[in-house]
């Protein structure tokens, strides 16, 4: 994404304030003239007020002559009709209150964008480039992979890279949502958008500016793919507007043919046109989606546009990868089975035997044993890479390793076997631990009426162990293409989401109705293959995603039903002579303002 098309949040705020200033001046001057005209009963002042307030609406009405049936056309025809009938005040009132409603909707939309902008203002357009000549400030987009840059305390990291010199704490909240700074050292990866909080560091760049994490996230959040609800408004307007115009003509003509007073029925037709303007729908629905996406972003859930948000609200099945998603990817002892020894004795022999090894499995066994190890009891230690360990522990010959190494038939993945003095003594199940919040997240999904399932490439035994603890069904030993096939089956029963690591699960993420990537904010595959990216490993963000999308869609439906119902009611009352054009104006603007306020509720979701 070109930096020339992006600016800081502060610049955005100033731009919005400057762009709103002429509109405010127009509204104030037009309103003053309108009030003076009312007091002085001066039609010239009414006309001048109308021109100031409504010139852009009239211009827009006839600018696209091939598509006359739009809200500007309805406003123009109605107000011209009011002038023809000598109702100058009503014509000006229509434009005044319409412009007030438009101003309020634009202001609300700008505030929504600023709220996301504050979170998504990740990129730094300049970088301190290191070279043989010294330090030079350059545009970030001119820095290349392999170049070295310096980031000073308090500055944003402009490009993804690896720390080559220095160490310090980094504020990662804008990417991860986590407020606690991370301590990073030489060799650690830093992402664009991080902020160095306490000391300068030097970084070797690993990604171009356009491919940096910040750029990818900004592209993701600014995705403008329309939701079906937004498409509904477009289709609705194409049908609705010509029907309204035809009905207004019929109201104006037919009663007059049968002896009705022409001024009365033209007035009612004009009123019919005023109240028919679909501005509440046109404004509130996109604003609702934007507010929902903004709410999610503030909670570390990045949603790729309105279409993905709408899809998320309809999820019926949620498939989970196991390793690194439901589990933390760290080895831990899950169970101990002993033959002729107590479990603690078996663990002792295994822990002593593994004492000098730094293998993750060895560390898991020693951590689980959790007792002090007397190094004096260990002798003749020997590690055979990829197979196991031999050692003499307190005069006993201990072997720990694979089934083949120990001499056991019918081996099982995930089990570490132990022999004492040449005889099989038992086994220890090693697997990664289930995340602390996994049970709560699964429970919340079930309460929301969503069916969870595990789809994993891991062994049957390991998958079954995790599935039993979480009380959900599973499919194990799946290749990537098998997962795609399983997702296809689930999609027949409703909208299906899949959450995985975004790299080896890219095919299934792409094939799911809603692809969700867990905690891989720095991975291109996570951002490009997914509809939703969670900025850390917190599984509780998933039910939060469902609640935000559900609330947003409820608000969208409320606005549609409310707006259409009120308009139909006032249109009928106006056609029958029970409402004045003043009532029509206030009803139209009132509906717009209420719809805007209702849309902004999408920003509010309690944790």
Check whether residue 305 and residue 388 sit in a common domain: no
Check whether residue 13 and residue 146 sit in a common domain: no
State residue 542's pLDDT score.
94
Mean pLDDT throughout 281-294?
Answer: 76
Decide if 52 is inside a domain: yes
Decide if 219 is inside a domain: no
Catalytic residue among 110, 160, 171, 321: 321
> Is the pLDDT score of 462 beyond 90?
no
Mean pLDDT throughout 358-362?
Answer: 79
pLDDT digits (tens, 9 = 90+) for 292-321: 887 887 788 888 777 888 899 999 999 998
Query: Looking at per-residue confidence, does 307 or 579 come out higher?
Result: 307
Decide if 265 is inside a domain: yes
Check whether residue 114 and residue 9 sit in a common domain: yes
Check whether residue 41 and residue 113 sit in a common domain: yes
State residue 258's pLDDT score.
87
Decide if 171 is inside a domain: yes
Decide if 218 is inside a domain: no
> Is the pLDDT score of 85 beyond 90?
no
Count the domains in the chain: 4
Mean pLDDT throughout 61-88?
Answer: 71
Confidence class of residue 563 from pLDDT cuts 50, 70 and 90? confident
Check whether residue 430 and residue 451 sit in a common domain: no
Decide if 217 is inside a domain: no
357 within 8 A of 381, measured Cβ to Cβ: no
Check whether residue 461 and residue 422 sit in a common domain: no
Give the three-class secondary structure for 385: coil
Decide if 336 is inside a domain: yes
Domain boundary among 211, 237, 253: 211
Domain boundary among 412, 434, 456: 434
| Nearest partner of 189 among 168, 150, 160, judged by Cα | 160
Check whether residue 540 and residue 453 sit in a common domain: yes
State residue 13's pLDDT score.
44
State residue 520's pLDDT score.
56
Check whether residue 186 and residue 261 sit in a common domain: no
Confidence class of residue 203 from pLDDT cuts 50, 70 and 90? very high
CATH code, 154: 2.70.150.10
Q: How many Å apart are CA 159 and CA 174, to the nearest integer?
A: 15
Decide if 216 is inside a domain: no
Domain boundary among 404, 434, 464: 434
- Name the least confident of 118-127, 310-319, 547-556: 118-127
Q: Has 321 been annotated as catalytic?
A: yes
What is the rounded average pLDDT for all residues in the chain? 80
Confidence class of residue 9 from pLDDT cuts 50, 70 and 90? very low
Check whether residue 469 and residue 511 sit in a common domain: yes
Q: For the whole prediction, is pTM greater than 0.85? A: no
Residue 498 Cα distances to 386, 405, 438, 441, 510, angstroms: 34, 39, 15, 14, 9
Q: How many Å apart are CA 261 and CA 450, to the nearest integer?
A: 61
Check whether residue 184 and residue 132 sit in a common domain: yes
- Name the least confident of 84-98, 138-152, 202-216, 463-477: 84-98
Confidence class of residue 503 from pLDDT cuts 50, 70 and 90? low
Check whether residue 70 and residue 145 sit in a common domain: no
Q: Is the dihedral of CA 12, 15, 21, 26 positive or negative?
A: negative
Check whether residue 430 and residue 489 sit in a common domain: no
The boundaries of the domain holding residue 63 are: 3-118+224-292+549-603
Q: Using the 8-state DSSP alphabet, how is residue 156 labeled? A: B
CATH code, 350: 3.40.1110.10
User: What is the number of helices (H) and of strands (E) in the chain?
Assistant: 20, 22
């Amino acid at each position: 994404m070109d930096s020339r098309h992006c600016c800081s949040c502060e610049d955005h705020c100033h731009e919005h304030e400057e762009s709103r200033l002429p509109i405010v001046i127009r509204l104030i001057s037009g309103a003053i003239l309108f009030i003076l005209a009312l007091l002085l009963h001066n039609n010239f002042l009414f006309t001048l007020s109308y021109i100031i307030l409504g010139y852009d609406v009239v211009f827009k009405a006839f600018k696209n002559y091939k598509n006359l049936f739009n809200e500007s056309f309805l406003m123009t025809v109605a107000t011209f009709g009011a002038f023809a009938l000598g109702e100058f005040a009503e014509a000006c009132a229509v434009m005044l209150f319409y412009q007030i409603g438009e101003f309020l909707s634009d202001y609300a939309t700008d505030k929504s964008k600023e709220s996301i902008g504050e979170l998504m203002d990740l990129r730094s357009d300049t970088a301190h480039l290191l070279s043989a000549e010294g330090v030079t400030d350059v545009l970030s987009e001119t820095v290349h992979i392999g170049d070295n840059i310096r980031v000073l305390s308090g500055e944003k990291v402009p490009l993804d890279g690896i720390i080559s010199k220095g160490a310090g704490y980094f504020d990662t909240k804008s990417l991860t949502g986590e407020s606690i700074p991370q301590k990073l050292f030489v060799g650690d990866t830093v992402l664009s958008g991080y902020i160095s909080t306490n000391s300068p560091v030097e970084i070797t760049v690993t990604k171009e500016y356009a491919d940096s994490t910040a750029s990818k996230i900004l592209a993701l959040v600014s995705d403008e793919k329309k939701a079906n609800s937004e498409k509904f408004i477009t289709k609705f307007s194409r049908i609705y507007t010509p029907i309204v115009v035809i009905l207004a003509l019929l109201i104006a003509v037919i009663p007059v043919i049968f002896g009705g007073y022409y001024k009365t029925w033209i007035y009612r037709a004009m009123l019919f046109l005023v109240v028919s303007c679909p501005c509440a729908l046109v404004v509130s629905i996109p604003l609702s989606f934007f507010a929902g996406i903004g709410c999610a972003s503030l909670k570390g859930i990045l949603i790729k546009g309105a279409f993905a948000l709408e899809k998320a609200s309809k999820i019926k099945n949620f498939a989970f990868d196991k390793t690194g998603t439901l589990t933390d990817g760290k080895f831990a002892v899950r169970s101990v089975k002993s033959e002729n020894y107590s479990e603690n004795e078996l663990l002792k022999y295994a822990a002593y035997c593994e004492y000098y090894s730094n293998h993750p499995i060895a560390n898991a066994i020693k951590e689980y044993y959790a007792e002090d190890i007397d190094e004096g009891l260990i002798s003749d230690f020997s590690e055979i890479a990829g197979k196991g360990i031999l050692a003499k522990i307190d005069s006993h010959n201990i072997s720990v390793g694979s089934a083949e190494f120990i001499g056991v038939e019918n081996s099982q993945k995930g089990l570490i076997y132990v022999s004492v003095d040449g005889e099989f003594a038992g086994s220890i199940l090693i697997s990664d631990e289930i995340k602390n919040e996994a049970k709560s997240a699964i429970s919340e999904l079930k309460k929301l009426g969503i069916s969870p399932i595990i789809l994993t490439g891991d062994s049957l035994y390991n998958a079954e162990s995790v599935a039993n603890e979480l009380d959900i069904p599973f499919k194990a030993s799946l290749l990537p293409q098998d997962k795609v096939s399983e997702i296809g089956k689930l999609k027949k029963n409703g909208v299906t989401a899949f959450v995985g690591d975004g790299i080896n699960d890219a095919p299934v993420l792409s094939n799911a109705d809603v692809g969700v990537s867990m905690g891989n904010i720095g991975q291109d595959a996570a951002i490009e293959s997914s509809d939703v990216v969670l900025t850390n490993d917190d599984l509780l963000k998933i039910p939060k995603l469902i609640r935000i999308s559900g609330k947003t869609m409820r608000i969208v439906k409320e606005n549609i039903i409310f707006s259409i119902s009120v308009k139909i009611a006032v249109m009928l009352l106006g056609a029958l002579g029970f409402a004045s054009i003043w009532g029509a104006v206030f009803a139209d603007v009132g509906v717009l303002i209420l719809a805007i306020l209702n849309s902004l509720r999408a920003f509010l979701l309690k944790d």
